[in-house]
Copies of this chain bind each other. A is one copy, B any other.
Amino acid sequence: MPAVAKTTDAAVVAAARTLVERVGADGLSMQAVASAVGVRAPSLYKRFPDRGALIDAVAEAAVADLHAALAAADRAARTPAEALAAMARAYRAFARRSPKGYGLLFTDRGAHAAPAVDSRAAAVAPVLARLSGLVGEQHALSAARLLTAWLHGFVSMELAGAFRLGGDIDDAFAFGLTVLLDGITHWRSA
């Protein structure tokens, strides 16, 4: 009757995150996760219905970290423009720190993508809020889509090694950020 628990949900997710960063989500095996927490693979199915659900949990943990990083950058800034620039840099820093975990956020994983959708919106909520203060509620959504699309595109291309034609990538990031924030701020009517 006792059957003491050898691990916890949180420990399993933490081990899975570490492994995902090392071998990628595709390469994640239930055996490897199990042995990392001192258990056999079948035991994991008492905690997660299947491998996809475990990867979902990894994605949720990653998006929560991203949210925390953005919120911290937001709090440390004074003006809306400073806050947006700081959040953009924090966003890129997060993606570079957790490239595989970041890659999970915007990958369509079929049925298993559903849970991350709301968290994703919550994670970038501070960006939307600052843009509302800058360009008004009406334009904030379009502006947020412009800024987050560029951010996501930039960092995922950077992570995929798609910037091959030379030039400094930090400069390209700063250039893009300046043009975008200027464009968003000064954009007038249709």
Q: Which residues of A contact B (CB under 8 A)?
A: 24, 26, 99, 103, 106-108, 110, 113, 117, 120-121, 128, 141-142, 145-146, 148-154, 156-157, 159-167, 171-172, 175-176, 179-180, 182-184, 187
Contact = CB atoms under 8 A, between A and B. Distances in A.
B142 A148 contact: no
B184 A179 contact: yes
A145 B150 CA distance: 10
A120 to B, nearest CB: 6
B164 A121 contact: yes
Contacts of A179: 146, 180, 183-184, 187
B159 A156 contact: no
A142 B171 contact: yes
Contacts of A148: 153, 157
Contacts of A164: 117, 121
Give the interface SS of chain A, mostly helix, strand, loop or mixed: helix
Contacts of A107: 103, 107, 160
Contacts of A157: 106, 145, 148-149, 152
A-B pairs, top 10 by smallest CB distance, nearest first, are A153-B153, A183-B183, A149-B153, A152-B153, A149-B154, A179-B183, A146-B176, A150-B150, A142-B175, A145-B172
18 contacts: A103-B108, A106-B156, A107-B160, A108-B159, A121-B164, A121-B165, A128-B165, A141-B166, A142-B167, A142-B172, A142-B175, A145-B176, A146-B172, A146-B176, A150-B153, A152-B153, A153-B156, A182-B183
A107 to B, nearest CB: 7
A157 B113 CA distance: 13
A166 B145 CA distance: 11
B26 A162 contact: no
A142 B108 contact: no
